């Protein structure tokens, strides 16, 4: 891998990230080899991530306080996913963080009229674009945790990987084939070593 290439280019998208941006947010912190990578290492990186995922207009800046809320939401979502996976009740603080993000830019129901006819469209309050972005991420996570696909939510079982994904079938244990191959290679090495 080229040392000058951005780290996120070497990381394969995991199943579910294309459906749920909250899953992609949680996976912005991962292990690459023996080092930990954080795609949200500073305010500029956080701004870039939100712009890339079309949650924030490029012209809108992200201040340090808003960036702190983004990181707080990411950690709360990670904890909520863990609690869900372990069938445990999450800490009240993590729920409060998610609910605060939901309330920061509440959606307003609107009637939209497209070629298919009228339908309801809920639009977040655009007065504070950063709060609206966090609200959309929190709503996305709420939809994931309360929807039919919640049963597919799983943490990668490869050692050192702490990414989350949606299982395509019950036997899937790893977020990517890269993690699966690493686990199988480690097993084969251990088996050869014990002989």
Residue among 190, 48, 181, 60 at smallest CA distance from 128? 60
pLDDT category of residue 175 using cuts at 50, 70 and 90: confident
**Which residue has tokens 């993590």?**
94
Residue 160 pLDDT > 90: no
3-class DSSP state of 44:
helix
What is 7-194's CATH superfamily?
A: Jann2411-like domain (1.10.3300.10)
Domain boundaries, the chain: 7-194
In this prediction, what percent of the chain has a pLDDT beyond 90?
A: 63
pLDDT digits (tens, 9 = 90+) for 68-93: 999 999 999 999 999 999 999 999 99
| Stated pTM of the model | 0.84
Question: Which of the two residues, 1 and 80, has the higher pLDDT score?
Answer: 80
Separation between Cα atoms, residue 175 and residue 41, nearest integer Å: 23
């Amino acid at each position: 891998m080229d040392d000058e290439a951005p780290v996120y280019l070497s990381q394969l998208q995991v199943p579910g990230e294309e459906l749920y941006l909250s899953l992609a947010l949680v996976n912005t912190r991962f292990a690459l080899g023996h080092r930990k990578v954080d795609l949200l290492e500073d305010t500029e990186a956080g701004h870039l991530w939100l712009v890339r995922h079309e949650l924030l207009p490029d012209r809108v800046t992200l201040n340090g306080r808003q960036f702190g809320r983004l990181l707080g939401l990411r950690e709360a979502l990670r904890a909520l996913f863990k609690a869900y996976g372990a069938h445990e009740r999450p800490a009240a603080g993590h729920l409060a963080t998610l609910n605060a993000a939901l309330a920061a830019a509440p959606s307003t129901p609107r009637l939209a009229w497209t070629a298919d006819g009228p339908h309801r469209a809920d639009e977040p309050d655009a007065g504070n674009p950063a709060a609206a972005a966090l609200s959309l991420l929190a709503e996305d996570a709420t939809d994931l945790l309360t929807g039919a696909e919640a049963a597919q939510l799983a943490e990668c079982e490869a050692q050192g990987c702490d990414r989350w994904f949606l299982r395509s079938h019950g036997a899937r244990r790893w977020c990517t084939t890269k993690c699966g191959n690493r686990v199988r290679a480690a097993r084969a090495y251990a088996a050869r070593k014990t002989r």
